[in-house]
Amino acid sequence: MAGRRRRRGDDPSSTETTLLGAAALAAATDRSRRRRGAGFDTRRRHTLVVVGVLVVLFGSGVAGFATWLAGADEATAEAAPSASSVQEVSVVGPRYEPTAADRARTPTRITPATPLVALTFDDGPTPELTPYVLDVLKAKGAKATFFFQGDQVEKHPGIARRAQAEGHVIALHSYEHVYFPDLDQARARDQIVRGEEALTRELGVRPTMWRYPFGEASPVADAVLAERRLVGGVGWDWLSTLKGDFECPGADAVTRLVVTEARGDAVILLHDGGDAISCAGAQWEYLPRAIDAVRDKGLEFGVVVPTGRPNGSEETAVVAP
């Protein structure tokens, strides 16, 4: 279909955010190093470093054991302070409580004639936005497709597992949201394989579907995707000129975008990570409103599934119940 899977607007500065995050982390590490170093001689500093490393190792061992004990307990798994997640524990996003109308709603019976639209969320999972998105989808009885980053899944495995347990489709969006046209094949392979391994390790299922960060493909990466049997190039529909959620236009504007783009077989690009995190919290109210408004148009929600067609094709995926 002409004009389909048009690519526009995948969080162009997400890499920048990652870099800023890395810079902030480096600065924090630097600050703590300076603080710790002041007033101690080198030997004591080394002893402290060794003790620090042992504490972190012991801490992650305990956390790992606690997670293992808790099994599928999402809350415990996510709350367990590990060396990698301890920084994020304090960052908590909004939550959504089902309304009386949500509770009273009768689920729509989906038939082959029901036009389906796919909501897709990129760049998560994050503790800021993904739990809220999952709350809304649960309250509304809607399924969605999440294109997770490998590094985010490693940081927040409990949230990723919740999305999986609640029946959403989980697909891969690289390890750390890189711009593939700039990468040689070895680096492209590293991003694809590390992302694939992170999702497989944390979710117990190998991802089979792929979306390029920024929607920007590269031939060398396409070759790796084909070799890994990942269906690549899942795009999105963006026929209007309306702004995306990552541009922080507010709840009304994002609702308008979703409703405008919603039509049978449309794949809609949204985010539960990346730049969208920096938008004012009130923007997130778009999601319950947009879901209701799309249903008012006679549409229902489906998920993206691979067609099995080769990478680079414009139609690598379809929307299914």
Query: Among all residues, which ones are annotated catalytic?
Result: 122, 271
List phi, psi (to 5°) of 11: 10, 75
Tell me which residue of 200, 179, 174, 201 sits closest to 189, measured CA to CA.
174
Measured from the CB atom, the residue of 80 and 199 that comes closer to Zn ion is 199
Q: Does 237 bind Zn ion (CB under 5 A)?
A: no
Distance CA 138, CA 126 (A): 17
DSSP string, 102-152: HHHPPPPPP-TTS-EEEEEEES---TTTHHHHHHHHHHHT---EEEE-HHH
Size of the site for Zn ion (CB under 5 A): 4
Query: According to CB under 5 A, which one of 124, 150, 213, 215 is a site residue for Zn ion?
Result: 213
Nearest-approach distance from CB 125 to Zn ion, in angstroms: 13
Q: Does 285 bind Zn ion (CB under 5 A)?
A: no
Q: Does 272 bind Zn ion (CB under 5 A)?
A: no
Measured from the CB atom, the residue of 78 and 123 that comes closer to Zn ion is 123
CB 235 within 8 A of CB 215: yes
Q: What are the Cα distances from residue 273, in Å, to 125, 260, 293?
A: 7, 23, 24
Only segment of 29-37, 45-53, 121-129, 179-187 that touches Zn ion (CB under 5 A): 121-129
DSSP string, 236-291: ----S-PPPGGG---HHHHHHHHHHH-STT-EEEEESSGGGGGS-GGGGGHHHHHH
Query: According to CB under 5 A, which one of 80, 120, 121, 122 is a site residue for Zn ion?
Result: 122
Nearest-approach distance from CB 10 to Zn ion, in angstroms: 5
Q: Does 176 bind Zn ion (CB under 5 A)?
A: no
Query: According to CB under 5 A, which one of 116, 121, 123, 156 is a site residue for Zn ion?
Result: 123
For Zn ion, the nearest residue by Cβ is: 122
Nearest-approach distance from CB 128 to Zn ion, in angstroms: 15
Nearest-approach distance from CB 17 to Zn ion, in angstroms: 10
Residues that bind Zn ion (CB under 5 A): 10, 122-123, 213
